Structure 1
Amino acid sequence: MNTTKAITIESFGGPEVLRLQELPLRTPEPGEVLLRVEAAGVNPAELGMRDGRYPWSEEPRFPLVPGYDIAGVVEAVGREVTGLAPGDTVTATTAHAHTQIGSYAERVVVPADQVVPAPGLTPEQRASLPLAGTVALQALRRLGLERGQILLVNGVGGAVGSFIAQLAVLEGVTVFGTASTDEHDYVRSLGAIPLDRHGNLADQLRTEGFEAVAAAFDTVGGPSARTAFTLVRDNGRYATIVPPFWIPGGQFDPERGILPEIVVYSHVRADLAALVSLVTAGKLRARIADTLPLAEAPEAHRRLIKGGLRGKLLLRP
């Protein structure tokens, strides 16, 4: 039987429960693809996989392998798979909610419809796109902004925030992004206007000539999320990827005509393919915080818990 090294979870707990071990590796069935993993993204959802907060579609089966994002190379394809062949360079997501076997591994079997060819892109670029890029694209679509309107991105320096800023600018939207002052040159490089996240956002916005924004997108949560909400004009739009910090009532007042939306990842192959095209054309760039060896997955989770990452954290088998 084939095997693969993978980061496993035998029981829920802190980062220390993540352990590298050898697991059986099944042959791809019809409609599936076997990938050799070149890099795996580290996402907040995997913190929930590790500590038991993740909303499993089935009862958890140990050992679990966390992880969604994959930069990989096709090793084998099952029957009925078209458009993919051994040797293809790809980006992909696992079907973790159903299989409970993720991308923190040397090799993994995934559904073929969750695999997108990405020739010419680096492993870092490909591993950064699936969750962060897709969530940003889908959030921007749901905000429904038109050319010339204003978007405030709370936490523009992270993986999702930097993607949505670039995507919005490409559509002619004016983007303001909150970041620490030492990040302002980077924010400008995205085509956005920086705001000091430690300062008074309303005053800074007025200095730029605006009293309010058409929409805000939050990646941070907490008090700064609520501040971002207050800057949205009445009947504007507000979306967040940090649902615990959407608190109905108070500053989230339905009388202002704003319905806060929680954006969660939804796999759409066409969205991932569109992101690959933009990166290939040089119109979209990924931001990588750091890359660690697969065996250092516990350290990766500790860094994610600590917060303040500037870009995407990756694991390399």
Structure 2
Amino acid sequence: MLAARFHSFGGPEVLRLEEVPWPHPRGDEVLIRVRASSVNGTDLGLRRGGGPARLVARRPYTVGLDVAGEVAGLGPEVTAFDPGDRVFSLLGHGGGGAAEYVTVRQSRVAAAPARVSLEEAAAVPLAGLTALQALRDGAGMHLRPGARVLVNGAAGGIGSFAVGLARHYGAVVTGVARGPKLDFVRELGADEVLDHTSLDFTRLGRSWDVIFDTPPALAFPQVRASLAPDGVFVSTRPFPTSAADLRARLGREGPRWAGVRTQERSQDLAFLARLIDAGQLRVPLDRTFPLAEIVAAHRHAEGPEARGKTVVVI
């Protein structure tokens, strides 16, 4: 079968299509005929080889952290799916999504939303789960009706899902993005948009109940004064990186810090699918590319024009 892999770290040009052996499902694994896989910021970081990526991405590495497709085979312990089922899944840092087939444990798989195409479904897992777990688990949005929420990086993959999910939880949403992308953020449902290239929201003298930093580009000391007394700063950095972060995480009074480490939970994927099928959550699909143009897909995803999600069609 075909898979998009890299043997050395670098720019998009290190990606190549190669013939690799078919995977075979064992135990509780589901064999998925992949129809689409999205390009995430994590994919780009793993390909570049920065920081911990050199430890995670064992080369040759097949890119693609999430997939959508049909069940093509079942391990002997699988009980939740049948051949032909439309499914989507978050694979994790091991990758493997930009290939014709992949095996995944059934605990990471859920029925794909019926209302959208498999190309759109493939845009959901990593970005959607990160946004959901950050806002619900990190910020307790389900316990904050009417909260004022600021999403930094609202035009990105995670940020665009965060805008829709915050609205689902009844929040008043401020979306921060670059000027040309502000109309897109409004279309996602933001009540207010701010251009980060022309103003600094931390200098506006305002406060929010939740600030979700999706790039992540901010530090807790920068935003502390912009948080309500019981506010929370949620970062896509999973662990504290400074003493200020740690104090805010452990403190019992005042604004706090929370990091999100995305979990591959099938029940959370099913929750997102229900929202999408009910018309309560939009899938922010930007562009699709065929697998043969995986290099162009990565170039677009890390370029200045990208907004929402870039998807590779297998």
What TM-score comes out, normalization by structure 2 length? 0.85
- Mapping of 1:46-57 within 5 angstroms? 46-53=43-50, 55=52
For the residues of structure 2 that align with 1:204 and 1:15, how far apart are their CA atoms? 37
The residue aligned with 1:37 is 34
State whether residues 154 and 225 of structure 1, in contact with CA within 8 Å, keep that contact through their aligned partners in structure 2: no
Question: Offset at 1:126?
Answer: 0.9
Amino acid at match of 2:111: P
In the alignment, is residue 213 of structure 1 matched against residue 226 of structure 2?
no
The residue aligned with 2:106 is 112
For the residues of structure 2 that align with 1:282 and 1:309, how far apart are their CA atoms? 24
The residue aligned with 2:139 is 143
Question: Offset at 1:127?
Answer: 0.5
C-alpha spacing 1:274/1:62, structure 2 compared with 1 (3 Å): same
Quote the sequence identity (%).
Answer: 37
Question: Which of 77, 82, 95 is the equivalent residue of 1:80?
Answer: 77
In the alignment, is residue 302 of structure 1 matched against residue 302 of structure 2?
no
Deviates more, 1:188-197 or 1:150-159: 188-197
For the residues of structure 2 that align with 1:205 and 1:195, how far apart are their CA atoms? 13
Amino acid at match of 2:198: G
Please state whether the residue corresponding to 2:302 is helix, strand or coil.
helix
In the alignment, is residue 169 of structure 1 matched against residue 130 of structure 2?
no
For the residues of structure 2 that align with 1:57 and 1:266, how far apart are their CA atoms? 21
Amino acid at match of 1:144: G
Amino acid at match of 2:96: G
Amino acid at match of 1:187: V
Structure 1 segments unaligned to the other structure (5+ residues):
none
In the alignment, is residue 199 of structure 1 matched against residue 195 of structure 2?
no
For the residues of structure 2 that align with 1:220 and 1:226, how far apart are their CA atoms? 17
C-alpha spacing 1:26/1:203, structure 2 compared with 1 (3 Å): closer
- Mapping of 1:56-135 within 5 angstroms? 61-94=58-91, 96-97=92-93, 100-118=94-112, 120=114, 121-135=116-130
Question: Offset at 1:11?
Answer: 2.5
- Mapping of 1:14-29 within 5 angstroms? 14-29=11-26
Question: Offset at 1:244?
Answer: 10
State whether residues 225 and 245 of structure 1, in contact with CA within 8 Å, keep that contact through their aligned partners in structure 2: no
- Mapping of 1:170-189 within 5 angstroms? 170-189=168-187
Amino acid at match of 1:20: L
The residue aligned with 1:160 is 158
State whether residues 113 and 273 of structure 2, in contact with CA within 8 Å, keep that contact through their aligned partners in structure 1: no
C-alpha spacing 1:115/1:202, structure 2 compared with 1 (3 Å): closer
Please state whether the residue corresponding to 2:23 is helix, strand or coil.
coil
For the residues of structure 2 that align with 1:252 and 1:205, how far apart are their CA atoms? 26
Question: Offset at 1:158?
Answer: 1.8
Question: Offset at 1:29?
Answer: 0.9
For the residues of structure 2 that align with 1:69 and 1:271, how far apart are their CA atoms? 14
For the residues of structure 1 that align with 2:224 and 2:39, how far apart are their CA atoms? 28
State whether residues 35 and 108 of structure 1, in contact with CA within 8 Å, keep that contact through their aligned partners in structure 2: yes
For the residues of structure 1 that align with 2:202 and 2:235, how far apart are their CA atoms? 23
The residue aligned with 2:5 is 8
Report the number of matched residues: 306
Please state whether the residue corresponding to 1:33 is helix, strand or coil.
strand
Structure 2 segments unaligned to the other structure (5+ residues):
none
Deviates more, 1:252-261 or 1:181-190: 252-261
In the alignment, is residue 267 of structure 1 matched against residue 228 of structure 2?
no
For the residues of structure 1 that align with 2:139 and 2:108, how far apart are their CA atoms? 25
C-alpha spacing 1:11/1:189, structure 2 compared with 1 (3 Å): closer
For the residues of structure 2 that align with 1:101 and 1:131, how far apart are their CA atoms? 12
For the residues of structure 2 that align with 1:62 and 1:222, how far apart are their CA atoms? 29
For the residues of structure 1 that align with 2:71 and 2:300, how far apart are their CA atoms? 30
Deviations along 1:225-269, whole A, 9 cap, x unmatched? 9765542234421012257996655x9995994333222211111
State whether residues 202 and 222 of structure 2, in contact with CA within 8 Å, keep that contact through their aligned partners in structure 1: no
